[in-house]
Amino acid sequence: MKHERQFFIDGAWVDPIKPALLDVIDPSTEEAFTQIAIGGAADVDRAVAAAKHAFRTFSQTTRKERLDLLRRILAEYNKRRNDIGDAISREMGAPLQFARDIQAGRGTAHLERMIEVLETYAFEYVQGTTLIAREPIGVCGLITPWNWPVNQIACKVLPALAAGCTMVLKPSEESPIDAIIWSEVMEAAGTPKGVYNMIQGSGAVVGEAMSSHPDIDMMSFTGSTRAGIRVAQASAATVKRVAQELGGKSANILLPDVDFQAAVTKGINGMMVNSGQSCTAPTRMFVPLDRHDEVKAIAKAAAERFVVGDPKSPDTRLGPVVNATQFEKIQRLIQAGIDEGAELVTGGTGRPEHLNRGYYVRPTVFAGVTNDMTIAREEIFGPVIAILPYKNEEEVIRLANDTIYGLAAYVQSADIEHARKVASQMRAGNVHINYPVGDTAAPFGGYKQSGNGREYGEWGLEEFLETKAVIGYQAA
């Protein structure tokens, strides 16, 4: 790595206008392993000016030119895919093989999907005598999170490019190194000058400057609901489009006819992925009251099979959480669960006994949880699951929807028609029936305070397009 202390602006690696550095912490050791440059409003101005200038020509490129660019990016990305996985493992603590195969693998998956979408997408069609045209929205500000860093970079940068937009990316300062490698990929692929720009910095400074910038036409933000509100407020003065993917508190409903051994085990495994640091994590497991004790035993066994430790070890299934702030928040919420009377089935506060440093959290299962408890209301963003018993289907649907969030929900049943009926009543943007494989073509986004707009595939592309009607395009 040679670009930690630079930004990528107008096709070149440049120093920040006012030099300032930030430590990048390895969460497995609690020690800094490098430093990055962080920027300010003047750096944002420089990047936006480059993007605005580039938009004049890039917005006029052909489908073929943009497809050729995406294919070059795919080729260069696959050369650096393990480098990106290694960076993600180091900077946010994901187990190394998981970071390489799954985290970095998402970049390849989104590239392949966006190429497929762009090959056939209809940017124009005639409706009666009117031409309906979908055109690039303009300069886009992209703010991405630390938990699935390259996934979120890919599902913002790629549709923006496919649409003909130009952009300024601000990755999370908690996971900045993979974004540097991504930017090296963009450079190696021959991305035209000014089309893609990347600056590092805090949300309070760089994110605020981007959101309020009069020459940015759209903000696409993924992160906490609290931060998303600030982005929307700062964007309001210039009436720019704001697309947001925010927090979640997803319900996982186990209907009475499921195989509980399989369904509970898969639910625990899905919850613990990425150390629970996923906005779609199935954090509230709803189970029939008369199966509650059985579910507790299965959940305990499943959670205790997770090996917590060094991300570099091939045996590790659960690495540390990202930083001290997140570690302390999770500890506070585990203690709140205990204090409010939930039954601690396994796990609890503090690190696992064999670890004396690093932001490691014990895989934790609570049972007997009620929907008014803090651990059932707040997004924990750690390896902590709440089991909530229910009496009947009407009650479980009401409880599952009783949240400010609406990003995802999960329904498990041996009867697919029954599962579909329950799924239709979930107030969530994504509903997963019987633990399906992921679908990068499915629209991804939420209801309520989980955000607005959709990402992935064709749906993601359309977020970066304006709609124009040319009336009288054809004679009546």
Residues tagged active-site = 245, 279
Q: Where are the beta strands (DSSP E) in 67-187?
A: 124-127, 130-136, 139-143, 166-170
Report the 10 Å Cβ neighbour count for 117. Answer: 22
Name every residue whose Cβ is closer than 8 Å to that of residue 467 and which is 6 or more positions away in sequence: 132, 133, 134, 135
d(CA 445, CA 409): 12
DSSP-assigned letter for residue 205: I
Distance, in Å, from the CA atom of 186 to the CA atom of 78, rounded to the nearest integer, reads 12
Q: How many residues does the chain have?
A: 476
For residue 446, what is the enclosing H or E element? Answer: none
Q: For residues 114, 230, 242 and 423, what is the CA-based torsion angle, rounded to 10 degrees?
A: 70
Enter the DSSP assignment of 34. E
- The C-alpha atoms of residue 389 and residue 342 are separated, in whole angstroms, by 12
Residues 6+ apart with CB under 8 A from 46: 9, 10, 14, 17
Using the 8-state DSSP alphabet, how is residue 282 labeled?
Answer: -
Residues 6+ apart with CB under 8 A from 42: 17, 18
Say which residues have a Cβ less than 8 Å from residue 292's Cβ, sequence separation at least 6.
Answer: 367, 368, 387, 389
Query: Which residues have CB under 8 Å from 461's CB, separation 6+?
Result: 114, 117, 118, 121, 159, 162, 163
Q: How far are the Cα atoms of 8, 315, 450 from residue 85, in angstroms, in the given order?
A: 21, 17, 27
Q: How far apart are the C-alpha atoms of 43 and 188, rounded to whole Å?
A: 23
Number of H helices, E strands in the chain: 15, 22
